[in-house]
Chains A and B, each alone.
Chain A
């Protein structure tokens, strides 16, 4: 099952430390990049939950994030509902839609599962794109950030908003870890290893997959609400399959099925994108080369590689500490 090893704790502390340092030292653009990383971090946590621990490689998680954003803006801006109630409703709607998608797609496997999720995502994109109610191709604006002035926080300040997003990301991470440590999480991992065995153990594997997909939708919905609050504008592009594809690239870059890895992947991806795009507009080429290198290395992403090296180092230390004789002594004794 998912475990917090010392290395994972260390990586989390380093990531939070780096985010806090960036928050208090960076200028406006640095903070914008940080917020982008934090929101992408939420999306990739949602994706890692289903893909890394359930074997459900989804190409609709970008669309789910878009559903969260559109539901929030519709309720808050068009209907005039309280922003917190709009958030709750938007997250619930996203989770509900995710559960239905999961329930339908859970009956397929492998490439068919991927294609089914892609189809759902593209249906959402096409619907929003063609729908005048949601602004069609023009998107929707008029979004305000949460009003937390009553507790002395002005989210219109980038620094405060970055801290708010960091707090939400930590909460989302704890939520994902709690799911994985629960009975449902264990069942999900069991289903990924051997679905037939889980069925023979009396588990309704279809339900396990649908439930976790729905819970993953909660996280994607939260990411959507914050994405809308970040840019203060939403457009159908949020639901495009390329967003899901990018999230998948980030998860693979960071380390599938590690939770921590995708967060590292998000930071690496966004920083790389901005750094390279300052030099050339063909930043996708560089990301592509990096991705190919990571895949060809056969390590499980950046964090998977670090974990493998750390594990080998621990093994060497254990071997050294249990060895009482030097090879020369053994040869002499012989």
Chain B
């Protein structure tokens, strides 16, 4: 579904990714793990066109991925960033409508009603401003906004960052529902248990390259790799 081949990328003069290659398969959940600064978020930003790839290629469903961020989104990839990026002066409804307006339609799989069914809390907060939401509510809104883009691939960067355990469990359950419904996902996550209980496939990024590839079961059983590359 999504294939990165020998990607070099970074910020300004600082190179972060060195020939990174990975393949995410349709209908499966891939977790990208790694220590801080390994290049996980840089990988996602490069996929999304928010950072230009200096070399290498990225294909989505066999076609080269567009270079401009809004074309990447239109190609069917939704990105939920670590910072959530809720628009503070817009209400929950308006935050959702920004995505729904462009990607909604009569035959859209995800509608405002459906994301509210998934996250009833958002329904109660529809007319609240973005800045009035708790961290958990912001994360729900960010995921709901991504879903309203009716993506074929949902990418989440650190979805549990800074959340209370009860909210982490709620987010986990909701993502499990999405996985059961067949949505392809890539999740970058520091929470090893959260990531490996959701993912089918796991890659570990170290020093800007993929250093380990396997299944979630394999990484759970491989304590040496966990210790070497994840510090678990």
Contact = CB atoms under 8 A, between A and B. Distances in A.
B70 A183 contact: no
Contacts of A205: 70
B89 A197 contact: no
Nearest to B74: A202
Contacts of A190: 87, 90, 98
B98 A187 contact: yes
Contacts of A183: 97-98, 101
Interface in A173-198: 183, 186-187, 189-190, 193-194, 196-198
A183 B102 CA distance: 10
A204 B70 contact: yes
A189 B87 contact: yes
B88 interface: yes
A205 B71 CA distance: 11
Contact of A200 (B79, B89, B101): B79
A150 B94 CA distance: 46
A197 B145 CA distance: 11
Contact of B90 (A1, A196, A199, A201): A1
B91 A1 contact: yes
A194 B86 CA distance: 9
B90 A186 contact: yes
Contact of A202 (B89, B94, B149): B149
A318 to B, nearest CB: 14
Nearest to B145: A201
A196 B94 CA distance: 18
A193 B89 contact: yes
Contacts of A187: 98
Nearest to A201: B99
Interface residues of B, number: 26
Contact of A196 (B50, B89, B97, B98): B50
Contacts of A193: 87-89
B144 to A, nearest CB: 12
Given A186-B94, A189-B89, A199 B102 contact: no
A160 interface: no
B121 interface: no
Contacts of B60: none
B50 A203 contact: no
Contacts of B70: 198-205
B68 interface: yes
B110 interface: no
B122 interface: no
Interface of B: 48-50, 68-70, 72-74, 79, 81, 85, 87-91, 94, 97-99, 101-103, 145, 149
29 contacts: A1-B89, A1-B90, A183-B97, A183-B98, A183-B101, A186-B90, A186-B94, A187-B98, A189-B89, A189-B90, A190-B87, A190-B90, A193-B89, A194-B87, A197-B81, A199-B50, A199-B69, A200-B50, A200-B69, A200-B72, A201-B73, A201-B99, A201-B102, A201-B145, A201-B149, A202-B73, A202-B102, A203-B70, A205-B70
Given A1-B90, A190-B98, A200-B79, 6 more contacts: A186-B97, A194-B87, A197-B81, A198-B98, A200-B50, A202-B74
